[in-house]
Amino acid sequence: MTNETSRPSEIFVDADACPVKAEINRVAERHGMVTHVVSNSGFRPSGNPLIRNVVVSDKFDAADDWIVERVQPGDIVITADIQLADRCIKAGAQVLGMTGKPFTENSIGTALAMRELSSQLRDMGEIKGGGPGFSAADRSRFLNALEAMVQKAKRS
């Protein structure tokens, strides 16, 4: 099946610091989906012609801009970047965080507000460091959520 633009749904990965690239590749290969792995440094090619490494400049938000310029309704975007998630949702894409939590029209406003609050608290010295480490449960939740999104995209 195809989406509104008459091309099969594709996967776009905001790949810098992405801990689930191998999992994405396995799901994409199993379903025969074109997948764009976008970064400013590049990664070892997978050998599968459907998995496309895209190297962009190191300009601020270059990877985000590349994805937003190409994503279409029904595509899947994988990112931890809340602002990129917001832009892709507005473009009609399904968006999945690295820990398997989907970003939706209903949740993105809260996520943006929490991002801003956390930034202000870090600037004031009230919180330090990053979030919790990436766990096996996160990886499993991600795989389940990605499979569900792929199934939804294929039905669209």
Q: Is residue 33 part of a domain?
A: yes
What is the share, in percent, of the chain residues with pLDDT greater than 70?
79
Total count of domains within the chain: 1
Q: Quickly list DSSP for the chain.
A: ---TTSS---EEEE-TT-TTHHHHHHHHHHHT--EEEEESS-----S-TTEEEEE--SSTTHHHHHHHHH--TT-EEE-S-HHHHHHHHHTT-EEE-TTSPEE-TTTHHHHHHHHHHHHHHHHTTSS-S--PPP-HHHHHHHHHHHHHHHHHHHH-
pLDDT tens digits for 109-140? 676 566 565 566 666 666 666 666 788 999 99
- Using one digit for the tens of pLDDT, what is the confidence trace for 89-100? 999 999 999 889
d(C-alpha 10, C-alpha 137), whole Å: 26
Does residue 4 form part of some domain? no
74 CB-near residues (< 8 Å, 6+ apart):
3, 4, 5, 9, 92, 93, 94, 153, 156
Q: Is the pTM of this model over 0.75?
A: yes
pLDDT of residue 38: 95
Range of the domain at 37: 11-155
How many CB atoms sit inside 10 A of residue 8's CB?
17
Quick check: is 142 in a domain? Answer: yes
More confident residue, 106 or 5: 106
Domain containing residue 56: CATH number: 3.40.50
How does pLDDT run across 52-83, given as a tens digit for each residue?
Answer: 999 999 998 999 999 999 999 999 999 988 88
The reply to whether 72 falls in a domain is: yes
Q: Does a structural domain hold residue 76? A: yes
Q: How confident is the model at residue 4 (pLDDT cuts 50, 70, 90)?
A: very low
Residue 3 falls within a domain, yes or no?
Answer: no
